[in-house]
Structure 1
């Protein structure tokens, strides 16, 4: 299995398929590199596609040191994948935890990204939800350690923003739960503690987002309530961005509605590669309603 070693000595497994302009996929907390299979099969027909397993997610290494897990480290790992595989500049597509890291890549390593897709981003990001998010993550970490991911998968996977996935695609949802149950208990706990819980609020990054010029597509499911407000905030703050809200869709949008997700991302990157992706028209930000 192909892997690369980061500068801090962590081996990251990756899948590499297709030829053409590079496209890197960054998975969510409850997923891994396998969650992008429908995207690899679609985009590898015309792009070179890379999907990697984050640290803490076998077959990538599971460092035991809690200091090995952070938002900055997750962002650095994307950068190292791009640099070590000579992919720059790449289209970068991230979901949830991977979407947060993708946005941070745009802030810290804009030269490595041709475009950014931030899907399902916003859990715990609103200033008025921080305390609730910390309390829920602390409780989840404790339960993961006590019960193990083989048991916690069914509980975590049935969170409120994923129920519509089970309703419309029971087979796909069952596969999602099976893969989640295979995750490392220690890696899952450390990732939630170091990456999820400790990441800054998106609102704290407003100044940096306002300066971003990398083409950005923000995608939200309309039944993924924790991400809706944050997605609108990102659209209003990143002037090189557009917002897509997918109807009757929850958090795991690339699995729930892969065709609609793939087509939306394809249209976006096609515009970027053609040089026809435009920034927000300044006059549209006047604040006026009619004029």
Structure 2
């Protein structure tokens, strides 16, 4: 994998897939190796995907200072990658917890971002979080699923603060539109791909200045797309729509039958949706 050096000396790796206009992609997890993104449902057929392994994950190096796992400290990694690629402005895509890093980057370097695509993404950077009530609302949509009863009991234990690793494994089906063999294999790779120590530090409260970030994005002229899954709880489609209202120019697309990983649930529609959005600006 190609690599570059972050300002603090940490060696960071990234994947390049496909041909065409570059799309810089940030993974979620938080702090999960970017391999779980795959080629984003075939999006690499339309774009040259540049997919970063965040520090301490995948093929990237472990930093000397663990405090740099905090997402606001990783803004300089994204900027270093942009400079390394020689791009004046970037089309930026982020999934899940990667949304916070993308938003923090955009707030600090608004003129470096041409478009922002947030895929079932978190927005703590803008003061929006996903709650237990949101999880319950989405879970209720899955009552007819054969796995629902056991998974919902595990959710209750997690919310009560007594959840075990087995309970976290049991609730995995809630994050996928279909709990098929592909989804099960994808979920099974989560632990080995994730840096749990880094994940605990990633979203430290001190990383965020929601008032400042909202002020920047409210006047930002970049185009923004929020993709929500119909069955996802983070964010619920209506929460994604509320996040979109914080931007000057944003649109929300809800993918039917999709969960938190919509490129797995409906690869064709996902890739076509992102590509159509990006094509509007070229």
Q: Does TM, normalized by the shorter one, top 0.5?
A: yes
Calculate the aligned-residue CA RMSD, in Å. 3.4
Q: 1:185-204 counterparts in 2 under 5 A?
A: 187-191=195-199, 193-198=200-205, 199-200=207-208
Residue of structure 2 in register with 1:101 after alignment: 101
| Matching residue within 183, 191, 206 for 2:214 | 206
Change in Cα spacing, 1:98 to 1:249, as seen in structure 2 (3 Å) is same
Runs of 4+ residues over 6 Å off in structure 1: none
Gaps of 5+ in 1: 274-291
Corresponding residue pairs, total: 254
Residue 249 of structure 1 aligns to a residue whose secondary structure is coil
Q: Which has the higher contact order (CA 8 A, sep 6+)?
A: 2
| Matching residue within 267, 273, 279 for 2:276 | 267
Change in Cα spacing, 1:175 to 1:202, as seen in structure 2 (3 Å) is farther
Q: Does 1:174 align with 2:181?
A: no
Map Cα deviations across residues 201-248 of structure 1 (whole Å, 9 max, x no partner): 757732222111111101111222241354222221202111111222
Q: Does 1:247 align with 2:256?
A: yes
Deviation at 1:90, TM superposition (A): 2.0
Q: 1:75-86 counterparts in 2 under 5 A?
A: 75-86=75-86
- Tell me, yes or no, if the aligned pair for 1:116 and 1:217 is still in contact at 8 Å: yes
Deviation at 1:178, TM superposition (A): 3.2
Give the TM-score of the pair, scaled to structure 1.
0.74
Greater fraction of residues in helix: 1
Give the TM-score of the pair, scaled to structure 2.
0.77
Q: Does 1:236 align with 2:253?
A: no
Gaps of 5+ in 2: 136-154
Map Cα deviations across residues 136-189 of structure 1 (whole Å, 9 max, x no partner): 9xx99x99xxx9xxxx5x6545446x5252x625222222123213235xx322
Map Cα deviations across residues 105-147 of structure 1 (whole Å, 9 max, x no partner): 22211232221101212376547959x99xx9xx99x99xxx9
Deviation at 1:96, TM superposition (A): 0.9
